Amino acid sequence: MPDISKSSPDRNRENSAQTVPVSVADVQKRMGLDFPFTLAAPSFVLPAGVAENSLFLAQYFPEIALLFFEADACLAYTEDDLPPHLSELDCSWHVHMPLDFDWSLGLDVIWRKIEGLIDKAAFLSPRAYVLHPPTAPDMLLPLAARLRDKGVAPASFLIENIRGHSLTPIWEEILAGGFSTCLDIGHILAYSQQDVLNLPHLWETVRMLHVYGEEKKMKHWPLSHLSEEGKSTLRTLLENAPSATVTLEVFNQNGLFASLNQLGQWMSEWSHKK
C-alpha cells in the first residue's frame, strides 16, 4: 500500500509551501491545451474521509478514483462514508480494488469481496475497476467467468503492473479473459518492467495510466521527481494510449496539483515540438 502517512520529514518539507488548487480546465486554458484523455485524482489527498475528499476533488477534476485499498474496511462502509449525494457530483468515477486480497484463500473468498465492492460502488456507475494481479495462479479466467455471470464485462477490469508482479507472466490469461490493463509508470521504472511495453496487442488493452514522479520507499512522489528516462517513458505511454484515463496517483494535495501543473507544462512543450 502506498505510504500516505502525514508525519515523515520528507512530507513535512513537501507541504511547507502550499500549492494553490487549480482545475484541469484552468490548466488547459492557461496552457492552450486540450487534453485528449480524462484526468482523474485519487480519493485520498486530504486527511479526511472519502466523502470530504470527493466533494473537494470534484471541483477540480473530471474523474475520481475511489480507493478501496483495504477490503474488509471498505466493505464495512456505510452511507456516512459513501453518502448517496456523491452520485450527484459533476464527475465520473472508477474504482481501485483492494491491495490486501489474499488470493491463497481461493477465488470463492476473493470473489465475495470483489462482488461486495462492486455492489458498494454501483450507485456511482464507475467506468472501470483497477485490480492488482492475482498472486495465485490460474485465477483470471475463472474470475472473468464470474464477472460475466454478474453482468460485468471483464474489459472493465484493468489489471495493473505492480511490484513483484509484472503483466508479462500472465499476459496470455489477460488476453484470453478479455481484461483491460492499467500501466503504472512508477512501477515500470522502479522495478525494471519495461518489457511490459513490448507485449503483443498491449496498447489495444490499455485503458488507464497511473502517473506520478517515482515510487521510492513505497511513496508516490510528484511529477517533478520524474527522471529524464521517466519523462521519455511517460511520453511513450501517452502517445501509444492517447485516450486512456490518466490518474495522477499522488496522495497529497500539494503534490497532486503541482503534478497537474507539471503535466500541463510538458504536454504544452511536447505539442510544440511535433
| Partners of 40 in beta bridges | 63, 247
Task: Please tell me the predicted confidence (pLDDT) of residue 272.
Answer: 74
**DSSP-based three-state secondary structure for 210:** strand
Tell me the per-residue pLDDT of 195-249, one tens digit each, with 9 for 90 and over. 999 999 999 999 999 999 988 877 899 999 999 999 999 999 999 999 999 999 9
Would the pLDDT of 1 be above 60? no
Three cell numbers at 73? 474496511
Task: Please tell me the predicted confidence (pLDDT) of residue 274.
Answer: 59
Look up the pTM and report it: 0.93
- Of the candidates 39, 31, 33, the one whose C-alpha atom is nearest the C-alpha of residue 60 is 39
Task: Please tell me the predicted confidence (pLDDT) of residue 217.
Answer: 72
Tell me the per-residue pLDDT of 72-88, one tens digit each, with 9 for 90 and over. 999 999 999 999 999 99
**CATH C-level class of 9-273:** alpha beta
Tell me the per-residue pLDDT of 3-22, one tens digit each, with 9 for 90 and over. 443 333 344 444 445 678 99
Task: Please tell me the predicted confidence (pLDDT) of residue 19.
Answer: 75
